Amino acid sequence: MTLQFAVDAVVLDIEGTTSATGFVVDVLYPYSRSRFAALLAERSDDPAVTRAVAQVRELTGDVDADAVQIEKTLNTWLDEDRKATPLKTLQGIIWSEGFARGDLVSHFYDDVVPALRAWHTAGLRLYVYSSGSVAAQRAWFTSSPEGDLLPLVSGLYDTENAGPKQEPESYRRIADATGIAPSRLLFLSDRPGELDAAVAAGWHAVGVRRPGEPYFEQGVGDHAQAGAFDEIGITSTRSTT
Ligand SMILES: [Mg+2]
């Protein structure tokens, strides 16, 4: 092992760390694009859909926009990668149903699932902290290529229940929620700003650098780094009972 830590829990970033960032753009975006029209036509009574449609009309200022125009707006936002709330809401519905139906299977790098299983077996607790919503995280772990991984995970955190990923306060909030001392928490992420924030909150952190990911070239500054999860060794006191 290149790196060795004595901690009680590992907190995982998803995009760029456990999973390929490109999967979202290459697989999930086209899937949502193909299903906006059906969702708008078949589910106009669903309160979440109704609210999202009202928000689209509000944001575009076109109060009379029909389903065709709404779909066009959603696709334009998708092309521009705009983080508009109604777009995120409708994508969330489409993706969670796609995963549940078996149309979609999430992505994990090959080294990740064996490490998660080994750490879980060793008595470590595993948590997720991702900018994707908790609902999306749940679907991601439930519908993995290796089956349901959700039983391995003790808790899910996003920007709603924990806060922005580059602020130390968010990491303090997660430590409080888990009841684990900051010095017994290890955060794995590909983004230097997130690693900085975790360390500022008293956590351990490892920068995960995978070829092809957006932050691979930039690197992770002074943080410890690993190319894959099998380079990270962890001893836990929780298992010695
Ligand atoms: Mg990331």
- Please report the domains of the chain, with CATH numbers, ordered by start residue: 3-19+107-235 (3.40.50.1000), 25-101 (1.10.720)
**67-96: average pLDDT:** 92
- The H-assigned helical ranges of the chain are 21-23, 29-42, 47-60, 67-80, 85-101, 112-121, 134-142, 168-178, 192-200
Q: Is the pLDDT of residue 237 over 80?
A: no
Structure confidence by residue, pLDDT tens digits, 176-194: 999 999 999 999 999 999 9
Question: Bigger pLDDT: 233 or 1?
Answer: 233
**153-168: average pLDDT:** 95
Q: Is the pLDDT of residue 117 over 50?
A: yes
Q: Is the pLDDT of residue 91 over 60?
A: yes
Q: How far does residue 210's CA lie from ligand 1's centre (Å)?
A: 11
Q: How far does residue 173's CA lie from ligand 1's centre (Å)?
A: 19
pLDDT at 9: 98
Q: How far does residue 196's CA lie from ligand 1's centre (Å)?
A: 13
pLDDT at 54: 96
Q: Quick one: tokens of 150? A: 């959700």
**79-93: average pLDDT:** 89
Which amino acid, residue 60? T
Q: Distances in Å between the alpha carbon of 10 and those of 2, 21, 105, 149, 185?
A: 17, 20, 24, 15, 6
